[in-house]
Chain A
């Protein structure tokens, strides 16, 4: 019987990403365990049970040590972990929030991450995203759920210089968004290496 191996939806794009020049770098983030958390109210009890202060300011994210906690709504967060399996993360989060009336669902397969780094990535993003990404208003710790090239994404700023972002996109939209990003980055690539 054939062995089922998980292949990355952007495997076919890796060569194209590698050829991009440094100012518009795109790298595929490794798979991470991700859980969607619903919790009506956060407080000391939730922070203690989860081991992280869930961000309550809209459109922000915080590092959690082994992952990230992203604000998705006033009662909804996205927690990721690079060290746990999806089952472990879901079980741990569920055990933590269930006594508080919350819920946790494994959504690891829902989204994949793209890391955008370089001095011109903000110009690339601006071609299909209406959010003001200037570091003055979208500094490290900012996040936004919005549309990028008409695909729904979660954007996160990783630096205060406006040159480091993570884009979370639904797996089924990843190929489309990769094509879109490569096209948007075209003007920053030099002709001789295309």
Chain B
């Protein structure tokens, strides 16, 4: 089984984690002025990248903290994990 490195707890088994979708999706600046279509784009539309993808993960069976990870969607390899208050790392 693959190990995922929690920024707090270190490497743990994949089953301890749950997936939280694409990371860095900003909440609308002016939510009151959004049209239904813009809301739909914010709520439902996500990138479907092949390759490196910034995602949110949750260490649900451990420390129950959210964190971000750069994962390769083709190989499922985790390239980097980082805390929510850290900027997205620059990957080559």
Give every chain B residue within 8 A of A74 (Cβ-Cβ): 8, 63, 65
Q: How many A-B Cβ pairs are below 8 Å? A: 36
Closest to A129 in B: B13
Q: A74-B65, A145-B63 are in contact. Are A130 and B8 (CB under 8 A)?
A: no
List CB contacts (< 8 Å) of B1-56 with chain A.
1, 8-10, 12-13, 15-16
Q: Which of B8, B15, B63, B65 has the most CB of A within 10 A?
A: B63
Choose one: B15, B61, B63; the contact of A58 (CB below 8 Å): B63
B10 to chain A minimum Cβ distance, whole angstroms, is 8
For this complex, into which size category does the number of interface residues on chain A fall?
10 to 19
Mark interface residues in A61-89 (1 if CB within 8 Å of B CB, else 0). 00000000000111000000000000000
Contact between B65 and A146, CB atoms less than 8 A apart: no
List CB contacts (< 8 Å) of A103-153 with chain B.
130-131, 144-147, 152
A44 to chain B minimum Cβ distance, whole angstroms, is 23
For this complex, into which size category does the number of interface residues on chain B fall?
10 to 19
Closest to B65 in A: A73
A176 to chain B minimum Cβ distance, whole angstroms, is 16
Task: Give bound CA distance, A146 to B11, whole Å.
Answer: 12
Contact between A147 and B61, CB atoms less than 8 A apart: yes
Closest to B15 in A: A147
Contact between A146 and B8, CB atoms less than 8 A apart: no
B54 to chain A minimum Cβ distance, whole angstroms, is 21
Counting from the closest, the 9 A-B pairs by CB-CB distance are A130-B13, A58-B8, A73-B63, A145-B62, A147-B61, A152-B61, A73-B65, A58-B9, A59-B9
User: Which A positions have Cβ atoms within 8 angstroms of B?
Assistant: 58-59, 72-74, 130-131, 144-147, 152
